[in-house]
Amino acid sequence: MTGLSTSETFSSGTAEEEAYLYVLKAIRTGRLAPGTRLIPEDIAGEIGMSRMPVREAFRRLSTEGLVLIRTNRGCVVAGLSVEEIYEVFEMRSVLEGLAVRLATPRLDGDDFAELERLLARMQRGDQASDDWVTPHREFHEYLCSFSRRPKLIRQIARLHAAIEPYLRIWFHHAEKPVSADEDHRVILEALRTGDAARAESVIERHILDTAPALAAVVGETRQ
């Protein structure tokens, strides 16, 4: 499956890549929460490598806005304020709208079958696990990959990585609305029409409508 994960846009197999993927996954899944201090020696020990590639991985994550490197104060996992959460969703709506507009004419029967499979996985997700969050990301990844715009895909990937920990908070602290699944069904039906402008509008609205519910839950959990 073609995706938009940042990890797929760089060469693999290096120690830096391994460290990058390790920390990225820990941030996305919430194991490393916002504000957590990242100690190179500790992470290097967990992976079984020297600290130098871990430091390089920190620098790469810093350029993506996922960690903050503070002079003489070390590295911490970056967090988002409620206002920044809204901003990320606004950016996602525009960039993913563009990606979907470009992708719509390129989708065929096999592609729709894969989107249906991911949607079915989302619908089977429950409150006791992360079974909804991962296929949700993969649904968007798979769809946007057909834009065939690598720079656009990388930017979208970074926004997904920044917001995923908060999606998990939303998922575990609030009843997932039925509309979340219905919205993705509407997106799929819009794509099937082949009307690129309509598909763009539908996904933009879907993303923007998600922001208030997620921001509200994040705000409540911080109080």
Q: What is the pLDDT of residues 7-29, one digit of tens each?
A: 443 344 699 999 999 999 999 88
Residue 74: strand, helix, or coil: strand
Average pLDDT over the chain, rounded to an integer: 86
What's the whole-number mean pLDDT along residues 117-144?
81
- One DSSP character per residue, 2-52 reads ----GGGGS--SSHHHHHHHHHHHHHHTTSS-TTPEE-HHHHHHHHTS-HH
Q: What pLDDT, on a 0 to 100 scale, did the predictor assign at position 222? A: 63
- What are the residue ranges of CATH 1.20.120.530 in the chain? 82-222
Residue extent(s) of CATH 1.10.10.10 domains in the chain: 6-77
Q: What is the CATH number of domain 6-77?
A: 1.10.10.10
Q: Which CATH number fits domain 82-222: 2.30.42.10, 3.30.420.40, 3.40.50.300, 1.20.120.530?
A: 1.20.120.530
In this predicted structure, the answer to whether residue 103 has a pLDDT above a threshold of 90 is: yes
Q: With a cut of 50, say whether residue 66 has pLDDT above it.
A: yes
